[in-house]
Chain A
Amino acid sequence: MPLDTSTYDLALLRVDGRRWNELRRLHGQIRTQAAADGSSYLEMGNTKVMCVIAGPSEDAGRRRAGMGVSASGSTAPGGSAAADVVVSIVVGGFSSVDRKRRARGDKRIQELQATIAKALASNLHVHLYPRSTISISLHVLSQDGSLLAALINAATLALVDAGVPMTDYLVACTAGSTSTHSAGDEGADPLVDLNTQEEQELPFLTLATLGATDKVAVLVCETRVQVSRLEGMMASAADACKGVRKFLDQVVREKGHKMVTEGAIEKGASMAMDIDV
């Protein structure tokens, strides 16, 4: 049942009481799974995802078909010169309001997997791990909009935990527009970090940027929107990405600080980043 968002004009408040440029409550944890090489848990409002990383490891099981979608760098004869990034997404049947059993070969999920794998593969320094696989498994526990964005952010956090070198945080956020696709009103506001209700009602896009820069790694829009509206939506999504990056960085630093004070890291072990929380 679509929800009436036409009241936005009255108080400039969204259905959940946010302003146009406000993110939902973000909560993140890293190193949640002791056994994994890297792991994270991320909440963006009521969207909750978990990420577990195995690798970089030798690619023994690489040829197994149907394990997910991989993206690799240039391949040289006799084994790949760069690590394969393999992403698999599991959407919990309990994650949305109506319990739906999804086929394993769901094209939407396969597309998400390919998107995340390709985006991360170009951001990570995969050439440092020839003939190996980085396997990223993402679990969707609860869905409330901005799913792709949450998955990308969680994967970034977990990769930081796994210690895979990367150029910068790959952060993502959604942005929408307050008017429907047909209306040509110029006064329409962009909105950031949409929830399910807003996603169903409004045109929106998901944008992933490379950390501090404004470079766009992923841009996905699946709804009809006037082309003139694109620039505004992209600009506000990029701004929101900066906020998300700040948050992810804070999560990493807090965890690092905690590990140092608790003595989880040996004294004198070289730390690439200075911990200044």
Chain B
Amino acid sequence: MPREAEPSLNERAFVTQALQEGQRLDGRAFDQFRKLDLRFGDQYGVADVTLGKTRVLAKVSAEVTTPYIDRPFDGIFTITTELSPMASPAFEVNRPTETEVLLSRLIEKTVRRSNALDLESLCLIAGQKVWSVRVDLHVVSHDGNLIDASCLAVVAALRHFRKPDTSIEGDTLTIYTPAEREPVPLSWLHSPFCVTFSFYGENGEIMLADASLLEEQLRVSSCTISLNKHGEICQVAKLGGTAVEAISLIQCASAAVTKVKEFSTFVDQKLADDSRRRDKGGLLAELSAENER
């Protein structure tokens, strides 16, 4: 089983001492994120998030299937994560590491269990036909803080996605191609985002936001908080590690609230930019055969 190369003792001592002196290796403030960028693909439902050197890609697809027997009125919503060997030599195909299990559980809890997507709206004919929405998450490059980047990618991709329009007349269900009818967005209830904090020091007294891979390897414990912009916690996960004071967790939560508001406006703005880019000025402009000269 391959493992991530561990930082050397020198690196370890250097980073820890720098943190004690209030410095990070890349010169960021303790609560500062790396440069965040979000791009949408040509297709609907593709989001590409870069956070420093970390890069994740989310792709949403939808198909019509039969619902689960115990939930005839609910659509199906699945999120699959794939950490490919391309991102880090520690990842293998078809053998989920602990990182991958925890990542997919966190995204699942944040987006799916908090009812961000209205599953009932995915129902076409009760008990027979529902939409099955699937998000595939690919980690292309791993330089720490996969959780925050992945969650942002998933949320952005789902909000960007358009599913084909449908109509029901009597017993016949018609699914329209994009040429016949404009595809419709998913019914989206709220946008949760994850913010991860890493703790350093004997008692976890130093708190960093958006740790890089090296910083992640050296942390004594971490805490991921998922919130939406209304200040609702969707999930908190401090899964073991060195015990930290309760007050610093409360501080994390309030720092996360402001950060999530930033994320929220960031995604809103990017979505607005993208729709402006796609909007050619109505049907008449689209039908025009005139070329740009």
A: which residues have CB within 8 A of B? 63, 65, 69, 71, 74-75, 105, 107-108, 110-111, 114-123, 181-182, 205, 209-210, 213-228, 230-231, 234-235, 238
The residue of chain B having its C-beta at the shortest distance from the C-beta of A216 within the complex is B246
- 16 additional contacts (CB under 8 A) given A120-B240, A214-B246, A225-B233: A65-B1, A107-B105, A110-B105, A111-B102, A111-B239, A114-B102, A116-B240, A121-B240, A122-B221, A217-B242, A218-B239, A219-B236, A220-B238, A221-B233, A224-B232, A227-B233
| A205 contacts B238, C-beta separation under 8 Å | no
B83 to chain A, nearest CB (A): 14
A27 to chain B, nearest CB (A): 26
Interface: B114 (CB within 8 A) = yes
CA gap between A110 and B105 in the complex, in Å = 10
CA gap between A78 and B181 in the complex, in Å = 64
Which residues of chain A are near B245, meaning CB under 8 Å?
A: 214-216
CA gap between A225 and B226 in the complex, in Å = 11
23 contacts between A and B (CB under 8 A): A71-B240, A74-B6, A108-B105, A110-B101, A111-B102, A111-B239, A117-B240, A119-B240, A215-B203, A215-B243, A215-B246, A216-B245, A217-B243, A218-B240, A219-B236, A220-B239, A221-B236, A222-B113, A223-B113, A225-B232, A227-B257, A230-B253, A234-B246
| A228 contacts B104, C-beta separation under 8 Å | no
| A217 contacts B240, C-beta separation under 8 Å | yes
The residue of chain A having its C-beta at the shortest distance from the C-beta of B257 within the complex is A227
Interface: B154 (CB within 8 A) = no
| A115 contacts B244, C-beta separation under 8 Å | no
CA gap between A75 and B108 in the complex, in Å = 31
| B113 contacts A227, C-beta separation under 8 Å | no
Interface: B22 (CB within 8 A) = no
Most buried by B among A108, A115, A116, A216: A216
Interface: B249 (CB within 8 A) = yes
Q: Pick the contact of A220 from B1, B236, B246 — CB < 8 Å? A: B236
Which residues of chain A are near B244, meaning CB under 8 Å?
A: 215-216
B: which residues have CB within 8 A of A? 1, 6, 96, 98, 101-102, 104-105, 108-109, 113-115, 203, 220-221, 223, 227, 231-246, 249-250, 253-254, 257
Which residues of chain A are near B231, meaning CB under 8 Å?
A: 226-228
Which residues of chain A are near B203, meaning CB under 8 Å?
A: 215
Which residues of chain B are near A108, meaning CB under 8 Å?
A: 105
B85 to chain A, nearest CB (A): 17
| B243 contacts A107, C-beta separation under 8 Å | no
Which residues of chain B are near A71, meaning CB under 8 Å?
A: 240
The residue of chain B having its C-beta at the shortest distance from the C-beta of A220 within the complex is B237
Q: Pick the contact of B243 from A181, A209, A228 — CB < 8 Å? A: A209
The residue of chain A having its C-beta at the shortest distance from the C-beta of B110 within the complex is A222
Which residues of chain A are near B223, meaning CB under 8 Å?
A: 219
CA gap between A75 and B253 in the complex, in Å = 32
Most buried by A among B6, B227, B244, B246: B246
Which residues of chain A are near B221, meaning CB under 8 Å?
A: 118, 122
Q: Pick the contact of A230 from B105, B239, B250 — CB < 8 Å? A: B250
B16 to chain A, nearest CB (A): 12
CA gap between A116 and B241 in the complex, in Å = 10
CA gap between A216 and B231 in the complex, in Å = 22
When A65-B1, A215-B203, A216-B249 are in contact, do A115 and B232 touch as well, CB less than 8 Å? Answer: no
Which residues of chain B are near A121, meaning CB under 8 Å?
A: 240
| B238 contacts A218, C-beta separation under 8 Å | yes
When A114-B98, A216-B245, A216-B249 are in contact, do A226 and B233 touch as well, CB less than 8 Å? Answer: yes
When A214-B246, A216-B246 are in contact, do A122 and B232 touch as well, CB less than 8 Å? Answer: no
Which residues of chain A are near B246, meaning CB under 8 Å?
A: 214-216, 234-235, 238
The 4 closest A-B pairs by CB, nearest first: A118-B240, A119-B240, A215-B243, A221-B236
Q: Pick the contact of B240 from A122, A215, A223, A225 — CB < 8 Å? A: A122
Which residues of chain A are near B240, meaning CB under 8 Å?
A: 71, 114-122, 217-218
CA gap between A68 and B243 in the complex, in Å = 23
CA gap between A228 and B257 in the complex, in Å = 11
CA gap between A36 and B1 in the complex, in Å = 30
Most buried by A among B108, B234, B239, B250: B239
When A215-B245, A217-B243 are in contact, do A69 and B98 touch as well, CB less than 8 Å? Answer: yes
Which residues of chain B are near A118, meaning CB under 8 Å?
A: 221, 239-241
CA gap between A182 and B114 in the complex, in Å = 12
Q: Pick the contact of B236 from A111, A119, A120, A205 — CB < 8 Å? A: A205
The residue of chain B having its C-beta at the shortest distance from the C-beta of A207 within the complex is B246
When A65-B1, A114-B102, A219-B223 are in contact, do A231 and B237 touch as well, CB less than 8 Å? Answer: no
